[in-house]
Amino acid sequence: MTLYLAIFALCMILGVPIAFSLGLASVAYLFAYDQWQLMIGFPQKMIAGIDNFVLLTIPFFILAGNLMNSADLTRQIVRFAQMLVGRVRGGLAVVNVVASMMFSGISGAATSEASAIGSVMIPAMVRDGYKAAYAAALTAAGSILGSLVPPSLSLILYGVLTGTSIADLFLAGILPAFLICGLLIGYALWRARVEDHPMPQPVPREERLGLAMRAIPALLLPVIIVGGIRSGAFTPTEAAAVAALYALIIGGLLYRTLSPGKIGQAFYDTATMTAGVMLIVAMASMTSFILGIENIPRSIAAQLVSVSDNPWVLILLLNLVLLVLGLFLEPLAALVLAMPILNEVFPLLGLDPVQFGVMVVLNLMIGLITPPVGLCLFIVSAISRAPLERVSLAILPMIGICLFVLLMVAAVPSLSLLLPQILNR
Amino acid sequence: MTLLALERPLRLALRYLLIGLIGGLLALMTTQIALRYGFNASLLWAEEVCRYLLIWIAFLAVVLAFERGEIAALGFLGALLPRRPALALAMFCTLLSIGLSLLLVWYGWRFAQMAGGAAIPALGFILRDIFGAAAPPTPGTFWVYAALPVGMGLLALRLIADLVLCFRTIAAGGTVADIIGDRTGGSHQ
Amino acid sequence: QEVTIKMGHAASSQHLFQDGLEMFAEKVAAKTDGAIAIEVFGDRQLGDDKQLLEGLQIGLIEGALVSSPTLPLVLGIQAFDALQLPFAVQDYGQIAEVLGSDLGAELLATLDDKSIKGLGFVEAGQRHFLSRQPVASTADFAGLKTRIVPIPLHEATWHAVGVSPIGMAYGEVYSALETGTIDAVEINLSSVQSESLHDAAKHVTLTGHYFWPGIVMVSGRVWEGLSDEHKAALQEAAQETTAEAYAHAAAQEDDTRSYLEANGVTVTDLSDLDRMLELTAPVVTEWSDKDPLIGKFRDAYGAGQ
Ligand code: NA
Ligand code: NA
């Protein structure tokens, strides 16, 4: 196993794409341990890793995001957020966080949220005199809301892998998301006072009604999705297709900003972005096969349990393992890899499976904004042209906020379970 | 030269194929919801066909995702190095990726041949629905599994082109950034 | 210890498949004085049913226990449909007896061509009907959106019964039952318990329409590598496992039934099971003509009546 990790880390540091680093480490492992006959299983595991109905949510949520973006919806949402909350010192930073919260009801993944909000908010903040690294970091931190508020790819995948109610998981993610949102706003306001951030321009009065009319239909999407799932109209996986269809309809018919050319481009972009995610999932499937035959998940779980049988210690240790996984891996791949360990340890924790799901997903999302491999960090750093190291530094306090909320989710069951309980009555 | 002449139409074909596949996926899934919710019916094969479409989309688009820089990689080491070592490093990484791609083409093809004999169940349902008892033989899962060697093969070709590009760039005195610029520039045609 | 055989299955580690393979492992160890160790990997650690079967063929997987409906699909051996003819089998005892006979061996021998050695059978439990609304008589099936495994035999069967068969990934069944996306699912009681499906739907109708055998297999490569003595030991162990696994599944079904009733599930019989049987009889006839071995199984089940 050490060999596997060493090759993986080495390839990654050299600059081999992460997906290929996983694959090369698998090949090296099979070669070194005289298991070359298993090489024929490599393509099988890659295909099987993708051959999963739930993963269809990936192209559809990406498509919904792309269509909303081509329909110029992100800009509308940002303007709408500015109209609602922009009249304070450092208002644009607050707008960034609030727009992330609004957009999280449309996007299924943190990464699509980072690029959508980032492409509008970061240039606007930089133009107003904010440091690029700060604007980028705030966008990245806000983007993890995308995976906590329904629709959420990671929550769906967790629900299906563990057989937990996805409708409940969706509701359970909402309060923690609001908590993160509130704390990030508080932080932004504090920074604004200390660093004397500017007051933004007000949205002209005559623009306001039109803005609300255009933004509100889009903001209804999470309601449609949760409502549709709970009423049994469609399954959580199908909800992703509904989201894409909804985006197509409001962009094409309501706003009339979508042309056939733009739709075609959005479909095409969706295909390539899907391939980028799927390649990592495919390669990670081979890794989890190797881990499986070596019984690694069981032995990690056994080691965790051997440290202590106190559920609290176990929860902390488990979070630590997940955070480390999240440091290097994309959340879906990490979820696939971690699932056997989670299955072994979960019964000992005495947690509700829904609460546990929110905790696991939030944990992996934090991995998206922590160096070295934080996909959201990469995205915002590319958009802002601020060096990755600067953004990494700027985001540290925000990671602290997220870790605090993670602890709260683990310690306070009602933070996640309150909404599902109320709505199940 | 002939290869280059072929590149443009190939790219265009791939583009429309992918747009069609994504469109098909969306159409099939929404039909399925409408049928079940509105008409209490279901296409038994829809779930399976959706999965197979996803497999083809994922592997066919890998090469384009790579060209557009959507396959995540760490670039800090290359950025720290001076021009020539940085190019050498990029070539080394490309070589590793080519090796893995070719290995997967070879084993992917063998796997498709060995395990691809079974009829595709979904197509069986569709063909029986259309032709009844006179249904022609159902194609095998080979046609699903072939997506991997085809996709990795296209990627290998692209990576080899990258390698050639690196050689030329060294000779011409350019930097890694020139190649990456070339790469993203290539995707917007 | 000379040889370790890693055997995978796709069910959870609380499932009857796990028990069956562990049973097999104990017997093999006893019969070979520990020379052959069977290591059991549940929870899809080595892959799902389809991957396990493919893996056996390409030499990636050493051994597996796979649900019988997957075999016609992945290997193209239609004869395995013989194990799921609707209402053909009386009870656990009868199917265990038929599978333990030469006919069972004849069915397993159809795997030889696929470089797989079939050894025995482990039962996952007779299938019943779990629904959101009570089903009292056969007429109540009409139009119920019922998740079935999308294979031709099951489609024909449930079409004949009159439900609206729905294709859906297994992972989505819980949520779909809970929210009413589907009305029902045909399933075995132990899976209702292990997947907590009784939290989502409260009515079980004991139809027992067909059984759900799994096939114990090792890859041809592993099999060829064994001495004749060890081969015999494995076959004997599997034969004994088949008998015990069926007795175990029958006993477990009673326990599971009590568990479900204690958890608020109403478990009822169908008032006119004869009617359901009548509706599906043409399917049995149709399928018996598809493969001579299916006909033989039907006759063997019939002989026990
Ligand atoms: Na979301
Ligand atoms: Na990370």
pLDDT digits (tens, 9 = 90+) for C167-202: 887 878 888 888 888 999 999 998 898 888 898 899
Chains that touch B (3 or more CB pairs under 8 A): A, C
Residue B112: pLDDT band by 50, 70, 90 thresholds? very high
Residue C18 has pLDDT above 90, yes or no: yes
Q: Given this model, what pLDDT does residue C232 score?
A: 95
Measured in angstroms, the CA of A168 and the nearest CA of chain C are apart by: 10
What the block records as the tokens of A367 is: 């991995």
pLDDT in tens, chain A (425 residues): 788 889 988 998 898 988 899 899 999 999 988 888 888 889 998 998 888 877 888 888 888 888 887 877 777 777 888 788 767 888 888 888 988 888 887 777 787 788 778 877 888 888 888 899 999 999 999 999 988 988 788 888 788 777 787 888 888 999 999 999 999 999 999 998 888 887 777 778 888 888 888 778 877 877 787 788 778 888 878 888 998 898 888 888 777 778 888 899 999 999 998 898 888 888 888 887 887 777 777 788 788 888 877 888 888 888 888 887 777 667 777 787 787 778 778 877 878 889 999 999 998 888 888 877 677 887 788 788 888 888 989 999 999 999 999 999 988 999 999 988 887 65
Q: Given this model, what pLDDT does residue B5 score?
A: 65
Residue C248 CB: number of other CB atoms within 10 A? 18
Give the separation between CA A341 and CA B53, rounded to whole angstroms.
31
Q: Are A304 and A348 a contacting pair, CB within 8 Å?
A: no
Residue B28 has pLDDT above 80, yes or no: yes
Measured in angstroms, the CA of B132 and the nearest CA of chain A are apart by: 28
In the predicted model, what is the mean pLDDT of residues B75-91?
82
Reply yes or no: is the peptide bond before residue A151 cis, omega within 30 of 0.
yes
Instruction: Point out the ligand nearest to the CA of residue A330.
Output: 2
Give the separation between CA B171 and CA B166, rounded to whole angstroms.
9
Give the separation between CA A325 and CA A66, rounded to whole angstroms.
29
In the predicted model, what is the mean pLDDT of residues C151-162?
92
Q: Find the A351 Cα to ligand 1 centroid distance in Å.
A: 24
**Contact status of A25 with chain C (Cβ, < 8 Å):** no
Residue C53 has pLDDT above 60, yes or no: yes
Reply yes or no: is the peptide bond before residue C72 cis, omega within 30 of 0.
no
3-state secondary structure (DSSP) of residue B102: helix
**Cβ contact, residue pair A159, C168, below 8 Å:** no
In the predicted model, what is the mean pLDDT of residues B108-128?
84
Residue C152 has pLDDT above 60, yes or no: yes
Residue B116 has pLDDT above 50, yes or no: yes
How would you classify residue A387: left for phi > 0, otherwise alpha for psi between -120 and 50, otherwise beta?
beta
Q: How many CA atoms lie within 13 A of C181 on its CB side?
A: 30
Q: How many CB pairs under 8 A join B and C?
A: 49
Give the separation between CA A163 and CA C38, rounded to whole angstroms.
29
Q: Given this model, what pLDDT does residue A98 score?
A: 86
**Contact status of B33 with chain C (Cβ, < 8 Å):** no
Q: Find the B85 Cα to ligand 2 centroid distance in Å.
A: 28
Residue C55 has pLDDT above 70, yes or no: yes
Q: Given this model, what pLDDT does residue C189 score?
A: 92
What value of ipTM does the predicted structure carry? 0.85
Q: Find the C200 Cα to ligand 2 centroid distance in Å.
A: 37
Q: Given this model, what pLDDT does residue B184 score?
A: 42
Q: Are C42 and C77 a contacting pair, CB within 8 Å?
A: no
Q: Find the C223 Cα to ligand 2 centroid distance in Å.
A: 46
Q: Given this model, what pLDDT does residue C98 score?
A: 93
Residue partners of C248: CB distance under 8 A and separation at least 6: C16, C19, C20, C23
In the predicted model, what is the mean pLDDT of residues C126-135?
95
**Cβ contact, residue pair B44, C155, below 8 Å:** yes
Q: Given this model, what pLDDT does residue C303 score?
A: 62
**Contact status of A53 with chain C (Cβ, < 8 Å):** yes
In the predicted model, what is the mean pLDDT of residues B116-137?
78
**Contact status of C54 with chain A (Cβ, < 8 Å):** yes
Q: Domain limits of chain A?
A: 7-33+44-423
Residue B107 has pLDDT above 50, yes or no: yes
Higher model confidence: residue A338 or residue C262? C262
Instruction: Measure Cα distances from A325 to A110, A175, B11, C102, C246 in Å.
Output: 17, 25, 37, 52, 43
Give the separation between CA A237 and CA A228, rounded to whole angstroms.
12
Residue B179: pLDDT band by 50, 70, 90 thresholds? low
In the predicted model, what is the mean pLDDT of residues B162-176?
80
Q: Given this model, what pLDDT does residue B178 score?
A: 67
Q: Given this model, what pLDDT does residue B186 score?
A: 36
Residue B16: pLDDT band by 50, 70, 90 thresholds? very high
Q: Find the A323 Cα to ligand 2 centroid distance in Å.
A: 8
Average pLDDT, chain C: 91
Q: Given this model, what pLDDT does residue A78 score?
A: 79
**Cβ contact, residue pair A245, B96, below 8 Å:** no
Q: What is the pTM of this model?
A: 0.85
Q: Given this model, what pLDDT does residue C67 score?
A: 94
Q: Are A375 and A154 a contacting pair, CB within 8 Å?
A: no
Q: Given this model, what pLDDT does residue C190 score?
A: 87
The beta strands (E) that lie in chain C are given as 3-9, 36-41, 63-67, 116-123, 127-131, 145-147, 164-166, 184-188, 203-206, 213-219, 266-269
Q: Find the A330 Cα to ligand 2 centroid distance in Å.
A: 7
Q: Which residue of C has its CA nearest to A169?
A: C175
Using an 8 Å CB-CB cutoff, list chain C residues near A230.
Answer: 179
Instruction: Point out the ligand nearest to the CA of residue A323.
Output: 2
Which of A81-85, A287-291, B153-157, B173-177 shows the lowest mean pLDDT across its residues?
B173-177
Residue B1 has pLDDT above 70, yes or no: no
3-state secondary structure (DSSP) of residue B175: coil
Higher model confidence: residue B71 or residue C116? C116
Residue B46: pLDDT band by 50, 70, 90 thresholds? confident
CB-based burial label for A2 (10 Å; 0-12, 13-18, 19+): exposed
**Cβ contact, residue pair B147, A47, below 8 Å:** yes
Residue B132: pLDDT band by 50, 70, 90 thresholds? confident
Q: Given this model, what pLDDT does residue B156 score?
A: 94
- Dihedral of the CA atoms B4, B8, B13, B16 (nearest 10)? 150
Residue C305 has pLDDT above 50, yes or no: no
**Contact status of A56 with chain C (Cβ, < 8 Å):** no
